[in-house]
A and B are shown apart, each in its own frame.
Chain A
Amino acid sequence: MSAELALLVLRLLAGLSLAGFLLLLFFIIWRSLKASERQLRLARAAEARLARERPARDGTKEYSEGIALQQLTTIGRSANNFIVVSDDFASDEHARIIFEQGQWWLEDRASQNGTRLNRENIQGKAILKDGDEIGIGQDRFIVQLPLDLARHEQ
């Protein structure tokens, strides 16, 4: 009888430590993934740039040195925007790019002629990825997110 009881206790102990081992294993994994996700987010926030496309004389495209994106980057014709565009088709406060939830978002600010992402007008907000083309009036900008996985997969 006591041997049976001891066996039951040992079985429970073994089962609990087995479950504990697995739970702790997954907890450690979860925590390390969270840590690397935070690192990645910080790096994504730090290293994003926006390059302006300039049509060259011979028809090919040229790009300006990228401008580092801020947490809140405003684009428009008025002088108090972070990126000022001098374009008749752009509104004073045309669009903005914000960093939220680990992503870069493009948001149209009810502009007259709309904001294009990869040549299509956006409604509200849209997530940006590496190589995306933003169109404001006649200006074009290229998004540079060097840490995007999509780029590494090529």
Chain B
Amino acid sequence: MNAPPEPQSRWSRHDGGASLLLVLAAVFVFAGMAAVNLSRPTRPSDWLGFLVWFACMLVGSLVLNRFLPRRDPLLFPLAMFLSGWGLVAIERLAPAFADRQALWLAISLIAMLIAAAFPEALRWLRAYRYLLLALALVLLLATIALGRNPSGFPLAPRLWLGIGAIFFQPSELMKIILVAFLASYLGEGIASRRGDGSGSSAFQAMSPRLLGPMLTMWLLCMVILVWQRDLGTAMLFFVVFALLLYLASGDMRILVGGAVLVLVAGIAAYRLFDVVQLRVDIWLNPWPEAADRAYQIVQSLMAFGAGGIFGAGPGLGSPTYIPVAHSDFVFAAVAEEWGLLGVVAILSCFGVLAWRGLTIALTHGGRPFYKLLAVGLTMMLVLQAIMIMAGVIKLLPLTGVTLPFISYGGSSLLICYTMTGILLRLSSGAR
């Protein structure tokens, strides 16, 4: 499915309604912000978040129109819409964090524009992959030794590196570096073994020479992550890794083997780690402990019930019963105040994101690095969203990952936007 030339030239002329999407997103974020501020009489209204968001949207679309006129038209509006909604939700749930999140949004936008506008960025990801991987590993090791948690709870997982008042989560950075590493490594495997143009059935001989170093790298990452008890991220990495390996080899056994490995790891983790045991127990039946250990998930379910179809209205529900609702449980808070309509909207946005990302991958049929990179980044974003959304509705055991673009969290937002930037670059026919 090569990019058809005719519709693209039409998009470049008047971008096929994507700017109207941004206008509607702006109206939505404005109305949401205003409603939240209005329903909170004791506190002076705070418009910093909206102003920063609006400036980001204008600068972003101007720069993208200038440098990437033939990009995918939907990715940027989707990212802006979701993160604008996130700002409204944070302003509602934890106003103290809203300014900080707005600052991170500005930083994230700059990162996205750098990733999208400079073609060298992609080449560097490929050329310096070992260096980048080593750097990411060093950062992760440093997190084990020096890691902190900004919330200051003694038992909370220490996943952050802090310099002064700025905290960063190295495992977020690892998402991009790992996908880029796997994509270039597996891509070369495909390219070197492809004799007759049938790319998918190449790579069949899973030689230890090819897979050995990669599995070693992988085990190292897993050990570090499990050591840190960041099991959601470990799970995410493993699933994306298995998917990329499957795409590169076309071998069904990888999916089956991967599923078995996840199951074995899950059972082992259930026996070894109290956290996992707790998560699985309250997933199976939260009600006996609804007042203490399962309080968060039960309150989340209550919030979904309270929301109904149209929701309580922005600022009018009581989602603050959910502990730390602005982070992992933001989806439940949105469900209470925006109802089923809001839930369906967020699900649709992530669905469209997945579809656009995979379409970008399809346009790079002959370039395995770009193809695998697009698939890997899309999967990172969307699977993470699925994991946490399914977690808060008790469809899957809860894994403590953020909801991309929406949850509070600077590192997460920064990495999501950088991934979007790389996808935008790939969508406009990277060389």
Contacts and interface: CB of A to CB of B under 8 A. Distances in A.
A40 to B, nearest CB: 8
A15 interface: yes
A29 interface: yes
A35 B38 contact: no
Given A15-B310, A24-B21, A27-B17, A39 B38 contact: no
Contacts of A7: 35, 38-39, 313, 315-316
Nearest to B313: A11
Contacts of B4: 35-36, 39
User: Chain B interface residue count: which class?
Assistant: 35 or more
B18 to A, nearest CB: 7
User: Chain A interface residue count: which class?
Assistant: 20 to 34
A153 to B, nearest CB: 9
A123 interface: no
Contacts of B222: none
B302 interface: no
Interface in A9-59: 10-11, 13-15, 17-22, 24-29, 31-32, 35-36, 39
A10 B25 contact: no
Nearest to B339: A15
A35 B28 contact: no
A14 B35 contact: yes
A19 B348 CA distance: 12
In this complex, the member of B25, B31, B342 whose beta carbon has the largest number of chain A beta carbons within 10 angstroms is: B31
A3 interface: yes
A28 B24 contact: no
Interface string B53-81: 00000000000000000000110001001
A21 B28 contact: yes
Contacts of B313: 7, 11
In this complex, the member of A11, A19, A22, A36 whose beta carbon has the largest number of chain B beta carbons within 10 angstroms is: A11
A20 B73 CA distance: 17
A17 B28 CA distance: 5
A1 interface: no
Contact of A39 (B6, B24, B27, B39): B6
Interface string B17-40: 110110011011001101100110
Contacts of B342: 18
A42 to B, nearest CB: 9
Contacts of A22: 344-345, 348
B341 interface: yes
Contacts of B35: 7, 10-11, 14
Interface of A: 3, 6-7, 10-11, 13-15, 17-22, 24-29, 31-32, 35-36, 39
Given A24-B24, A39-B6, 18 more contacts: A6-B38, A7-B316, A10-B31, A10-B35, A13-B27, A13-B31, A18-B338, A20-B24, A21-B24, A21-B81, A22-B344, A22-B348, A24-B21, A28-B17, A28-B18, A32-B7, A35-B7, A39-B4
